[in-house]
């Protein structure tokens, strides 16, 4: 059981050093380092809280760069392979940098039946996002498919940052997008 082993034994310091050399500079700004340490300071070393630590880091950094996952694993006393497995399992965690605006498409049952798929496709085309990416080329938008906001009577729903749009149609997409820089 992971919980029984001392934290310092659970990751390779040598491999860590190699990783630190490999990290791209654009990903690890000094600012990130500071934010990561500050966030992790608030946690006690407890393997069961790795998910909370990752959530806190993502709240602060916007996403989870490699460095954040490694430092979180270190602090909480779990192997890096475990932390990576957790970070890639849950929907909430984003491992790539995000766009300036986050777009949530509701794909709940009601929204699906009211055409969520077509407004999603329209958005992809209008914002120039490839099918297998989730951030637009100009860095404006990061898109997410979400399961149900619980506002089913206003289906289909799109949320951009804190603005919620109800009863959206594909033709409105261009207009909506143009509001965001």
Partner 1 sequence: MISLVNITINGKKYQVSDGITILEAIKEVGLYVPTLCNFEGLSNTGACRICIVEVEGFRNLVPSCATPVSDGMVIWTDTPRVQYARRMVLEMIASEHKFDCQNCPRNGNCELQKIAFSLNVDYVSLEHNVRNKGIDTTNKAIIIDFDRCIICGRCIRACSEIQTVYAIDYAFRGYNTLVTTPFNEGLGNSNCVSCGLCTLVCPVAAIQERTSFQEVKNDMDNKFDIVSIIDPLTQLYIGEEFGFSSGKAIKNINKFLKSIGLKKIIKSYDGLNISIIGEAKELMNILNSNEVLISAQCPAVLDFIKKFFPEKIEMLSKIRNSHIISASLIREGLLKNLKNIRKEKLRILSISPCLALKNEIWKPYYKGEILNYVISIRELASIAKLKNYQDFEILELKDFKTFPSILDAISGGRAYLVIKTLLEILGKEVNEKLLETLCNINEVKSTSIKINGSKLNIMVANTLGACRKILEEIDNFSPAYIELRACPNGCIGGGGQPIPSLKENRKIRIENILKLYENINKKSIWKTRYSKILYKNAYEKDIIMIKGEY
Partner 2 sequence: MSIIAYLRSENEKLPKELFYEYEYRIMVGISTCSLTKRAEEIKKIIEKDLIDKKMDAKLAIVGCNGMCYSEVLVEVARINGPNILYTNINPENAHLILDHFINYISNNQSLFQSKIQIKELKDEPFYALQERRILEYVGRIDPYSLNEYLMIGGYEGLKKALSMSPEGVINEVLSSGLRGRGGAGFPTGKKWKFAYESKSDQKYAICNADEGDPGAFMNRLTAEGSPFMIIEGLTIMGYAIGANKGYIFVRAEKPLMAERLETAITLAKKKGFLGENIMNSNFSFDIEVILSAGAFVCGEETAMIAAIEGKRAMPRPRPPYPASKGLWNKPTCINNVETLAHVSLILKNGSNWFSQVGSEKSKGTKVFCLTGSIAKSGAVEVPLGTTIRKLIFDIGGGSSNGSIIKAVQIGGPSGGCIPSKYFDYELDYESLQSLGAIMGSGGLVVLTESNCMVDVAKYFLTFTSAESCGKCTPCRIGLTKMLNKLIEITNGKGRIEDIDYLINISRVIIDSSLCALGQTAPNPILTTIKYFKEEYLEHIIEKKCRAKVCTSLLKYEIDQEKCKKCMVCVKNCPNKAIEIEEGEIIFINQDKCIKCGTCRIVCPFNAIKVS
Binding site for partner 2 (CB under 8 A): 2-3, 47-52, 54-55, 76, 78, 82, 85-86, 89-93, 107-110, 112-113, 115, 118-119, 121-122, 125-126, 146-154, 157, 164, 166, 169-171, 173-174
DSSP label at residue 138? T
Among 80, 98, 129, 173, binds partner 1 (CB under 8 A): 80
Residue 112 touches which of partner 1, partner 2, none (Cβ within 5-8 Å per kind): partner 2
Instruction: Estimate the crossing angle of helix 66-76 against helix 30-41, to 10 degrees.
Output: 30
Task: Say how many Å lie between the first and final Cα of the chain, rounded.
Answer: 48
Residue 157 touches which of partner 1, partner 2, none (Cβ within 5-8 Å per kind): partner 2
State how far the Cα of 47 lies from the Cα of 7, in Å rounded to an integer: 9
Which of the ranges 36-44, 50-58, 79-87, 158-166 carries the binding residues for partner 1, by CB under 8 A?
79-87
Distance set, CA 70 to CA 65, 94, 98 (Å): 9, 15, 19
């Amino acid at each position: 059981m992971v919980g029984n082993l001392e934290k310092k034994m659970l990751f390779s310091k040598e491999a860590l050093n190699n990783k630190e050399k490999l990290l791209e500079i654009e990903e690890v700004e000094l600012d990130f380092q500071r934010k990561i340490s500050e966030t992790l300071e608030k946690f006690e070393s407890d393997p069961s809280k790795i998910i909370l630590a990752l959530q806190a880091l993502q709240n602060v950094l916007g996403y989870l760069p490699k460095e954040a996952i490694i430092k979180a694993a270190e602090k909480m006393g779990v192997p890096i392979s475990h932390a990576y497995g957790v970070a890639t399992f849950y929907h909430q965690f984003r491992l790539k940098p995000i766009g300036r605006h986050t777009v949530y498409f509701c794909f709940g049952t009601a929204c699906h039946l009211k055409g969520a798929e077509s407004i999603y496709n329209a958005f992809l085309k209008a914002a120039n996002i490839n099918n297998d990416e989730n951030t637009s080329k100009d860095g404006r938008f990061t898109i997410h498919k979400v399961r149900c906001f619980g506002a089913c009577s206003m289906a289909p729903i799109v949320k951009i940052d804190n603005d919620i749009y109800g009863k959206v149609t594909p033709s409105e997409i261009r207009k909506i997008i143009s509001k965001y820089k």
